[in-house]
Amino acid sequence: MAEERTVMRTQLPTSAESQNPQLKKALEFPILEKQNWLIHLHYIHKDYEACKAVIKEQLRETQGLCEYALYVQALIFRLEGNIQDSLELFQTCAVLSPQCADNLKQVARSLFLLGKHKAATEVYNEAAKLNQKDWEICHNLGVCYIYLKQFNKARDQLHHALHLNRHDLTYIMLGKIHLLEGNLDKAIEIYKKAVEFSPENTELLTTLGLLYLQAILAAGSMMQTHGDFDVALTKYRIVACAVPESPPLWNNIGMCFFGKKKYVAAISCLKRANYLAPFDWKILYNLGLVHLTMQQYASAFHFLSAAINFQPKMAELYMLLAVALTNLEDTENAKRAYAEAVHLDKCNPLVNLNYAVLLYNQGQKREALAQYQEMEKKVNLLKDSSSLEFDSEMVEVAQKLGAALHVGEALVWTKPAKDSRSQHRTTSASKAACFQQPLGSNQALGQAMSSAAAYRKLPSERGEGREKEERNIDE
């Protein structure tokens, strides 16, 4: 037994010595990824400075060939806002592992953040070839196509993403496509599906509710456009119970009262809308219009000036401001406002007509004739491009001014018959010219432009012995 123990003791050291060289070689072999665990630990703890220090050491040891270190370094650069640097590092990762779809996804993401949406779609398509079942690639491709205004491709990609894996964000982006296309019904349908999938998502529930209210608001606006003010107000009452602090709602209610000639109520509603949205130029526009109608020219000047500050490229605002200044007996500034309106406007004959009347009243007949002729050119263009009936008040004023300027026989229009079914006329040029969008409602814009063609009295011209009528801006 003693001998056997001795043998065993002598055998054990020999086996240990024979294994030592192998272990030593394994420890000395360079491992590119040996610090990855530490890099990951610092990164998830958001200790970015320590993480960058370990990454720097790892890249120095591996001569810049550690893919994971480069990848995390790129993520940190992106978080710090260095998108271009992160893009270059992600591209390096893609070179080191060309078959890795995640690297291509990060390259595409950086391109997207740099605003290079077309390049991002190309990289995402390459990533999709490597991984055809990644819903995130399809989702991000859809978002890129939205920015490129290619809504059909965006819709296809988002539907494919939902087929692979349903996510709230994909539903939201798909709904936004339908809203951008103006298809409210389909947007509501998408959000209903999203709420069924994720009923606890408050953003989805809120958006769906607002879309329903928007649909009611749109129906009321359409009725308001056709002069059905009482029915429109009934619709708006439903919306007011749910969203009592909606600026567009109170704007439209105010213009309903304006259409019904209840001007005090209109001002009250519009001022509430202005309180809720003080930087909305459409509300300021309508407030200026109502004050002009009530012959409160100083208040009208105040609101129209504010509207111009927010919408300085709209000719009609300068025109209405000029009418307010004319009634405030500030002729010089009125001329400057008209000149700016003429400079900005390309297709609304009312601007030139109003300016011509002011110039005629100031005795500048040659300049008034030039504006009148410019108005006729715009009317001809409108008649050629669309079959519309010009506002009766505008035609009447133009005929009388033309006669005063001795160009009555050259009038390019005829006075249309009045529509007995409608008490509110559609504006001659404004509604068709340049295809202006409604200001709160189509009726509001129609009233604004229609009323702008009315004036006081033209001064009697020497030699004729008769007066030419001119009415003020308010009806």
Q: Which of 360, 339, 364, 359 is nearest to 351 (CA)?
A: 339
Neighbours of 164 (CB within 10 A): 16
The radius of gyration of the chain from alpha carbons, rounded to an integer in Å, stands at 36
Cα–Cα distance list, 366 to 127, 208, 340, 352, 410 (Å): 70, 59, 19, 14, 16
Q: Which of 297, 278, 300 is nearest to 287 (CA)?
A: 300
Per-residue tens of pLDDT for the chain, all 475 residues: 344 433 333 343 444 444 444 444 444 444 667 788 888 899 999 899 999 999 888 888 888 888 899 999 999 999 999 999 999 999 999 998 888 999 999 999 999 999 999 999 999 999 999 988 899 999 999 999 999 999 999 999 999 999 999 999 999 999 999 999 888 889 999 999 999 998 988 888 888 888 888 888 888 888 888 888 999 998 898 888 888 888 999 999 999 999 999 999 999 999 999 999 999 999 999 999 999 999 999 999 999 999 999 999 999 999 999 999 999 999 999 999 999 999 998 888 889 999 999 999 888 889 999 999 898 888 888 877 766 667 788 888 888 888 888 875 445 554 444 443 333 333 333 333 333 333 333 333 333 333 333 323 333 333 333 233 333 333 3
Task: Report which DSSP code applies to 278.
Answer: T
What does the alpha-carbon distance between residue 171 and residue 205 come to, in Å, rounded to a whole number?
A: 12
Report whether 455 contacts 357 (CB < 8 A): yes
What does the alpha-carbon distance between residue 344 and residue 315 come to, in Å, rounded to a whole number?
A: 5
The tokens of 155 are what?
């819709």
Is pTM beyond 0.85? Reply is no
The tokens of 94 are what?
């893609």
Output the furthest CA–CA distance in the chain (Å, rounded): 151
The tokens of 9 are what?
């003791």
Q: Look at the block and give the residue holding tokens 């998408």.
A: 190
